[in-house]
Amino acid sequence: MVSQVKIPTLTDAVVRKRGKTIIGPVDLALPRDGFTILLGPNGSGKTTLLRLLHGVERLSAGQLTWATSEALARARQAYVFQSPTILRRTVAQNLAYPLQLVKTPKAEIAAQVADWAARIGLDGALERYAPRLSGGEKQKLALARALIRKPEVLFLDEPSANLDGRATREIEALLIATHQQGTRIVMATHDLGQARRLASDVLFMLRGRIHERGQAPEIFNAPETPQLRAFLDGDIVE
C-alpha cells in the first residue's frame, strides 16, 4: 500500500548555521512511494535535508509545505539516527515505549513487543539492559522501535554505519520488508553497494544542493555530471 502521507515539499529552502549555508537553495517534491537514497560526500547536507523533510530542522529561508496537517504527518513518520538513541531500560521496555505513548492496550503492547523482538532476533533478550547490546543489536532495536507503530514514512541516517556485514545484511532485510509492506523510505548512506541494492531513486547532494537526481538505474549506469561520475568511481569530490 502506498503511503497516504506525502513528504513535505521544499521551495527555495535554505538552512544557515553560524553564518554558513548548510543547505540550499533546494526545491524538492518527492513522490509518495519509493525507496529514495541520499548520496554525497561528508558535509554535503544529507543529514540536514533528512531533518528538514522530517520537520525537525528550522528553515532560514524558503518554504516547507505539508500536504496534510503537520501534526498528522509527524504522527505517521519515524526517524532513525546514525547513532541509535537507546532508552536506559530493557529491550522490552524500549520496544513498548512508542506504543505506551499512544495508550495502546497492554495486551496489544505485549504481543507487538514479542513479535518485533523475534523479527530482530532479540526475543531471547527482552529483559536485557538495552545499553549493553552490541552496536548491531542497538541499531536493530532502534529500527524496530521506529517501525512498531507502522509509520507510513521512514527517514534513516546511515543506519548501518560502522556495522559488520552480518548486521548490515539484517538491517537491509528489515528495510526491504518494510518497504514492500508499503512504507515510504528516505535514507542517507555512504555505502554505494547498499545504495545499489536498495534504491529506487537517488538524490546526489553536493555543497548543500541537490546536484543530480533520477531513477537508480540511470544514476548508477549513466550519471550526467562529472561530479557524480567521480563520486561513484570512488574519487574525492569537493
Phi, psi at 26, each rounded to 5°: -125, 130
Q: Name the DSSP letter for residue 129.
A: B
Structural domains present in the chain = 31-232 (3.40.50.300)
Find the largest Cα–Cα distance for the chain. 56
Q: Is 200 exposed, middle or buried (0-12, 13-18, 19+ CB in 10 A)?
A: middle
The string of pLDDT tens digits covering residues 8-33 is 899 999 999 999 999 999 999 998 89
* Cα 106 to Cα 120: distance, rounded to the nearest angstrom: 21
CB 77 within 8 A of CB 5: yes
pTM of the model: 0.92
Res 205 pLDDT > 60: yes
- Write out pLDDT tens, residues 96-133: 999 999 999 999 999 999 999 999 999 999 999 999 99
Share of the chain above pLDDT 70, in %: 98
CA 96 – CA 16 distance, rounded (Å): 37
Please determine, for residue 138, whether its predicted confidence score (pLDDT) is greater than 90.
yes
Interatomic CA distance for residues 49 and 216, integer angstroms: 19
| pLDDT bucket at 5, cuts 50 / 70 / 90 | low
